[in-house]
Structure formats: C-alpha cells, structure tokens
A = this chain, B = another copy of it.
Amino acid sequence: MTQPETLAFHAHDHAHCAGDTLARAEALAAEQGLRLTPVRRRVLQLLLEAHRAMGAYEVLDRLAAEGFGNQPPVAYRALEFLVENGFAHRLHRLNAFAACMHPGEDHSPVFLICRSCDAVAEAPADPVRRALAEAGEAAGFAIERMTVEAMGLCPACRAAEAA
C-alpha cells in the first residue's frame, strides 16, 4: 500500500485539519454522553493523522507499539465504536477505515477512492442519496443505510498518468 497523505484532494495543512476535527469530535462526544476513551481517541487520532484509509491490523500495530493491547479485538472494538458513532467510516472495498471529516453532519457519505494512490475523499452525498431513495421506493424497499464507493483516479494521479 502506498502512502499518499491526501483525503480531500487539495493541498492543506494536515496537522491543523486533523487537530481541528479531533476537537470537534471530542466536543460532540461530550455533548452526546459518549466516552471517547484513550484507545478510542488514539485510534481516531491515528486515522486523522494518517489522513487515509488504514486497515484494522495496521491500526492495531500502532496501538501495540504504544502500549495498548495487541490483540485484534482491541482495534476492532475501537473502530466499531468510532464507526457507529459517526467519527469514522468503513470502506468495504478496501477492508479499511478512515476518519470522518465531518463528524456530526452529513452521515452515510459518498467515497471517492483513488486506485492509484489510495487517497480517499468524502463527497457530497445528498443527490446520490435522493436518487437511491427513489430507486428503493420503486421496489418497495426501505433503505436504512447505504454504501457508496467510487473507484477511480484522483486529480493528482490523473495528471501523473497523462504524462
């Protein structure tokens, strides 16, 4: 796996946006009475700092190196908590997880995943959700959650490939 450091595809100050998002997440957790414990906070931080999708075992390795538990459930439980409460997302195509860049907002987003550099971006989901809801209704199907993941080329890799 390569190591791009982009999630939104534009250049920006990662340290800042990561810290910022973590702060928002903490506020949100406090507000909702959710316990953002050390493991959980650290996992969220890892995802935010990496600024890309990470596999559960990659997260686990980092945790273990820092003195947390070193068995799979440690990572999976923290990740599950983050996903369930909207602080992170699961990317099924990659078997991986990424921090949510808009905690508390726009859930069940659309993901754009670069096949060349593994960068992941969250895109506005409303139009897609509406189209999908319509398709569901036509079939009498009650949609509860949706997974939308698009594979392709991010702007940078697109330029690189054209060269």
Contacts and interface: CB of A to CB of B under 8 A. Distances in A.
Contact of A147 (B136, B138, B147): B147
B131 A112 contact: no
A130 to B, nearest CB: 7
B123 A135 contact: yes
B139 A9 contact: yes
* Interface size class of chain A, counting residues whose CB lies under 8 Å from the partner chain: 35 or more
Interface string A86-129: 00000011000000000000000010101100000101110110
Contacts of A144: 115, 150-153
A110 B143 CA distance: 12
B128 A135 contact: yes
A160 to B, nearest CB: 12
A134 to B, nearest CB: 7
Contact of A150 (B145, B150, B153, B158): B145
